[in-house]
Structure 1
Amino acid sequence: MTTSHAAGADELPAKDKLDRGVLKVAGVVVLGAIMAILDTTVVNVALQQLTIEFRTSFDTIQWVATGYMLALATVIPVTGWASDRFGTKRLYLLAIVLFLVGSMVAGLAWNIESLIAFRVVQGLGGGMLMPAAMTILTKAAGPQRVGRVMAVLGVPMLLGPIAGPILGGWLVDSVSWRWIFYINVPIGAVALFAAWRVLPRDEPQPTHRFDFPGMLMLSPGLALLIYGVSDIPNAGGITATSVWLPMLAGIVLIAGFVARALRIANPLVELRLFRDRTFSIAAATMSLFAVAFFGAMLLLPTYFLLVRGESALAAGLLLAPQGLGAMVAMPFAGRLADRVGAGKVVLPGLLLIVGGLVIFSQVAADTPYWALLTSLFVLGLGMGCTMMPIMSAALQTLTKKDVAHASSALNIIQQTSGAVGAAVMSIILAGLLAGKFGVPTSQGQLAATAALHDPRTHDAAAVLAADSFASTFVWSLVLVGACVIPALFLPKKPPVPKEDGDETQAPPVLAH
């Protein structure tokens, strides 16, 4: 069916409405998005149980989260190219299949190494789900209705941080940790069938050659660098071969990627974007923020489980105020950033996060729950005022043709920085627990758990463990404080779009 360009004004409201076809597409996409978003939060409350199950240390078990985040970062730049090359529907179906396979084998994991490997497979599928979903929705709705369909997709994005820890806690307590992965299978099966039946077919389009050499340098380089850093406590220092060798190999690979990306057309990550001052400032703010915030978020459920002796479900429920805070702040922060400039929203958001972390940097074994829950709500408010406004600030001075590259680069920065934060904070906590309990780093958390479960040593162990968490949160607090420096230079005026003659609407890429 064709629509006349001379359509009258009375036809515009009908065009702007979300018709049944678009709503069906949105419903299918939301199913896939629920899986990807829940899985970024559902695992955190199970880490303490997984540490005991596999008798390992916290700095090792955090790779269950870190490996997933690195896999997400790896496939983000592939998605745009693959959508053109193979068609968005095929890519979306492949993403669901990969996520399903990863979920099934993760639930069957027999040791920590197999679980980490299978989480990487799951992350490869999860990383493609959200960008492909954005593209499908944008094509189905058209530019004039993108805002409405993004609001539909925003529901699981806002509810995920609340529902994920609660669902994960209930499954760990009432069923088995394996079901935090198996739960994706029925959801994924329905999503796969619905996507196959409902999503419109699209034909592959000619596109540029994908930068496979760049991917083979950047992804292993980041993984080797983070692996080397994470092995420092176990190896006893940076001079150990298991530390400096992977770190050096990672640095060489990353340096090779940078040198190559600056010389070729269509690199995996468009580094020339960093010539734009606003983009560079926003990227620096995002990087520091992700290291501090995502690292701290990995530790919060473990504090409730280990120090306070809460069940996994109770820990998930106790984390709900953080998600509620983000849900309250995010819609207002986005609109406000468009009106007054991102800088005027991000700075207060960072100060809220600092205020929330101050409580946790002083946390004890008997800190009142009302203080912890209030702090979590304030942290959520701060997160809602920072992440998306930082993304918006980074894009506001770029031309339309650069927006897709910039969105991809920012998501990679967010995921890799979050992975670094998870590794670093886990290393600090593992080292502090080992020092307090007088055992090797690999045994710190297990020793703390044993001492806390013994009535004779419980009270003294709770004080020592809480002190370890408080000292670790101090590092998060310092890093969030450091975010304020680049954030001071974020735009403090409403965005003025640049015109470059390219009228193609690039689909937005949302962080997850």
Structure 2
Amino acid sequence: MSVSKVAERERLDPAFIRLALVLITGVLAVVFDTTVVNVALDTLARDLHVGVATVQWVTTGYLLALGMAVPVTGWLIHRLGGKRVWLCALALFLAGSVGASLAWDAPSLVAWRVVQGIGGGLMLPVLTTLLVQAAGGRSLGRVTALVTFPALLGPIFGPLLGGLIVQHTSWRWIFWVNVPFCVVGLLLAWRLMPAFPGTGRSRGRQTPELGAERQARNLPAAATEASEASQPAESRLDAAGLALASPGIAAIVYALAQVGADGGFGHPTVLVPLLGGLALLVAFTVRSTSIGDRALVDLRLLRVTSFSAATGLLFLSGFALYGAMLLVPLYFQQVRGQDPFAAGLLIAAQGVGVLASRGIAGRLTDRIGARPVTSAGLVVVALATVPFALATAHTPEWWLVAALVVRGIGLGAVTIPVMASAYLGLDRAAVPHASIITRTAQQIGGSFGTAVLAVALERTTFDAAFWWSIGFTVAAVVLARWLPNRPAQPSAP
């Protein structure tokens, strides 16, 4: 096959680009909201006349609702179709944003944040599911670069936007900022999104192109078997599975959010919900494995080596990304004496690095495979964190900012190939299950990474906490050896 034909086959379809722009417009509201609100917590506590412990529920309630909503997205897509789920989720997030902006006290604000969390929890995995399904298994590296693009903008512009709003206007504008994205996103989705009907009700249904796709792309048998196993058995909701998974995820996220406030993992307010959440997820795992395709989330996908490795790496990325997002701004403020807005400007350097590498990381993933790109990115992240671990009072600030740019380049080279390899070889019906698993791994991993590094910082020093972050990044390098070592061949159109 000629190079021109290969390039034409791998080129992203204009209809796919249009769909991506529609979905990204809506999800930007979720991305910015998460980072903007964190900047305003101190102002919220003062204006609403509550303590830090109460106002923290503005963030905690949102995260709990988000975590509890994620497991049901696969069933909703199967039952209602992707477009309807997306429109409903975006409308929920819009209603929660307007309600939060009009909140009259702390409890009402927390309640509307829960509504936002439900909408956001549905939107994030639905975004990934619809784009990966629309791509049909082709050019997964570049597809993932588009999927992850909104998440990169939040850490760059969110803190800056939040700082400007809090400093110059009322905190209520933090939630009004979401409204234009939601309204425009709803209009575009209503007019331009295809129907994305549910995947059907028949038991054991197999798509006819699955065998041909496996031969064309030379996929391992385990991937095809897991994909076939994930064909939906019926449209009935696995209520027992939902009753185990959603509270289990919420309990773990809540426990990890309490680690920093309560001084470690051994405190009862941390240990009890953590153990309870783990017990619920273990019960969910046992039950889901036993009932197979009737489960809320088909965990048999974890039998695929590349998928389980990608899921583990997404969990560990919480230490490299979210944990460091805790350490770096605190370091610039507490050690370097910067104000929050200046610290946000300095941290934006890392986001610039991520944006710079995302395009080439996607193309390299499609050409040479996920393993070499991910391994190289993790090494870059680890090396670029070393200057912070070795920094002294005399270390030039420009050197640390340059390290953040390089660190961002490494992070961009990690996230994209890992996400792409998670969907390699999976059939259309398996994608919603994969989106739920990967999203849950990211959320719990981010909470766990933040909690561990918060405890390390409380009990040691900044340099020791940065060494912890470097250690977990090195551990991820070992795990990356189980990722695919060859590019995915595009399937026939």
TM over 0.5: yes
Structure 2 residue 376 is the aligned partner of structure 1 residue 383: no
Deviates more, 1:48-57 or 1:251-260: 48-57
Q: 1:120 to 1:295 in 2, by over 3 A?
A: farther
Retained in 1: the 8 A contact 2:141–2:362?
Answer: no
**Which residue matches 1:417?**
445
Pairing partner for 2:299 from 254, 271, 281: 271
Retained in 2: the 8 A contact 1:334–1:388?
Answer: yes
TM-score, normalisation: structure 1:
0.74
Q: 1:332 to 1:61 in 2, by over 3 A?
A: farther
Q: 1:383 to 1:73 in 2, by over 3 A?
A: farther
- Supply the distance in 1 between the matched residues of 2:308 and 2:193 (Cα, whole angstroms): 37
Matches within 5 A, 1:298-309: 298-309=326-337
> How many residue pairs are counted as aligned between the two chains?
450
Rg larger for: 1
**Which residue matches 1:102?**
96
Structure 2 residue 478 is the aligned partner of structure 1 residue 482: no
- Supply the distance in 2 between the matched residues of 1:178 and 1:493 (Cα, whole angstroms): 50
Pairing partner for 2:14 from 12, 15, 18: 18
Retained in 1: the 8 A contact 2:259–2:451?
Answer: no
**Which residue matches 1:372?**
400
**Which residue matches 2:238?**
211
The Cα shift of 1:317 comes to: 1.9
TM-score, normalisation: structure 2:
0.76
Retained in 2: the 8 A contact 1:85–1:204?
Answer: yes
Pairing partner for 1:81 from 72, 75, 80: 75
- Supply the distance in 2 between the matched residues of 1:61 and 1:289 (Cα, whole angstroms): 28
Per-residue displacement from partner, 1:148-200 (whole Å, max 9, x unpaired)? 99877776455444322322222222224443222112332343344445545
- Supply the distance in 2 between the matched residues of 1:243 and 1:87 (Cα, whole angstroms): 38
Q: 1:278 to 1:109 in 2, by over 3 A?
A: same
- Supply the distance in 1 between the matched residues of 2:275 and 2:320 (Cα, whole angstroms): 24
User: What code does the residue aligned with 1:494 have?
Assistant: P
Pairing partner for 1:349 from 367, 377, 385: 377
**Which residue matches 2:434?**
406
**Which residue matches 2:207?**
none
Structure 2 residue 280 is the aligned partner of structure 1 residue 253: yes
The Cα shift of 1:274 comes to: 2.0
Pairing partner for 1:128 from 122, 125, 128: 122
User: What code does the residue aligned with 1:378 have?
Assistant: V
Pairing partner for 2:247 from 210, 216, 220: 220
User: What code does the residue aligned with 1:185 have?
Assistant: V
Pairing partner for 1:469 from 442, 462, 466: 462
Runs of at least 5 residues in structure 2 that lack an aligned partner in the other structure: 202-233
Q: 1:335 to 1:170 in 2, by over 3 A?
A: same
**Which residue matches 1:334?**
362
- Supply the distance in 2 between the matched residues of 1:354 and 1:122 (Cα, whole angstroms): 35
Q: 1:114 to 1:365 in 2, by over 3 A?
A: farther
User: What code does the residue aligned with 2:283 have?
Assistant: G
Retained in 1: the 8 A contact 2:160–2:344?
Answer: yes
- Supply the distance in 2 between the matched residues of 1:468 and 1:369 (Cα, whole angstroms): 19
The Cα shift of 1:377 comes to: 0.6
- Supply the distance in 1 between the matched residues of 2:83 and 2:352 (Cα, whole angstroms): 33
The Cα shift of 1:25 comes to: 5.6
The Cα shift of 1:410 comes to: 1.5
Retained in 2: the 8 A contact 1:211–1:268?
Answer: yes
Retained in 2: the 8 A contact 1:72–1:415?
Answer: no
The Cα shift of 1:31 comes to: 2.2
**Which residue matches 1:3?**
none
Per-residue displacement from partner, 1:41-80 (whole Å, max 9, x unpaired)? 33444456567775437xx977655654554443334223
- Supply the distance in 1 between the matched residues of 2:143 and 2:263 (Cα, whole angstroms): 52
Q: 1:233 to 1:152 in 2, by over 3 A?
A: closer
The Cα shift of 1:202 comes to: 6.5
- Supply the distance in 1 between the matched residues of 2:56 and 2:390 (Cα, whole angstroms): 23
Matches within 5 A, 1:54-73: 55-56=51-52, 68-73=62-67
User: What code does the residue aligned with 2:276 have?
Assistant: A
Pairing partner for 2:454 from 412, 426, 430: 426
SS at match of 1:224: helix
Retained in 2: the 8 A contact 1:62–1:426?
Answer: no
Retained in 1: the 8 A contact 2:127–2:147?
Answer: no
SS at match of 2:295: coil
Q: 1:354 to 1:276 in 2, by over 3 A?
A: same
**Which residue matches 1:163?**
157
Q: 1:89 to 1:347 in 2, by over 3 A?
A: closer
Retained in 2: the 8 A contact 1:76–1:127?
Answer: yes
Structure 2 residue 26 is the aligned partner of structure 1 residue 32: yes
- Supply the distance in 2 between the matched residues of 1:77 and 1:198 (Cα, whole angstroms): 27
Structure 2 residue 279 is the aligned partner of structure 1 residue 285: no
- Supply the distance in 2 between the matched residues of 1:228 and 1:212 (Cα, whole angstroms): 24
**Which residue matches 2:167?**
173
**Which residue matches 2:325?**
297
User: What code does the residue aligned with 2:368 have?
Assistant: V
SS at match of 1:250: helix
Runs of at least 5 residues in structure 1 that lack an aligned partner in the other structure: 1-8, 433-466, 506-512
Pairing partner for 2:349 from 315, 318, 321: 321
- Supply the distance in 2 between the matched residues of 1:241 and 1:143 (Cα, whole angstroms): 46
- Supply the distance in 2 between the matched residues of 1:234 and 1:417 (Cα, whole angstroms): 19
- Supply the distance in 2 between the matched residues of 1:383 and 1:320 (Cα, whole angstroms): 14
User: What code does the residue aligned with 2:24 have?
Assistant: V
Per-residue displacement from partner, 1:14-56 (whole Å, max 9, x unpaired)? x99737xx87765543320221222343344445656777543
User: What code does the residue aligned with 2:273 have?
Assistant: P
Q: CA RMSD in A?
A: 3.9
User: What code does the residue aligned with 2:96 have?
Assistant: G
Deviates more, 1:298-307 or 1:481-490: 298-307
User: What code does the residue aligned with 1:478 have?
Assistant: G
- Supply the distance in 1 between the matched residues of 2:409 and 2:339 (Cα, whole angstroms): 26
**Which residue matches 1:4?**
none
Query: Percent of aligned pairs with the same residue?
Result: 42
- Supply the distance in 2 between the matched residues of 1:394 and 1:147 (Cα, whole angstroms): 11
Retained in 2: the 8 A contact 1:171–1:177?
Answer: yes
Pairing partner for 1:42 from 30, 36, 52: 36
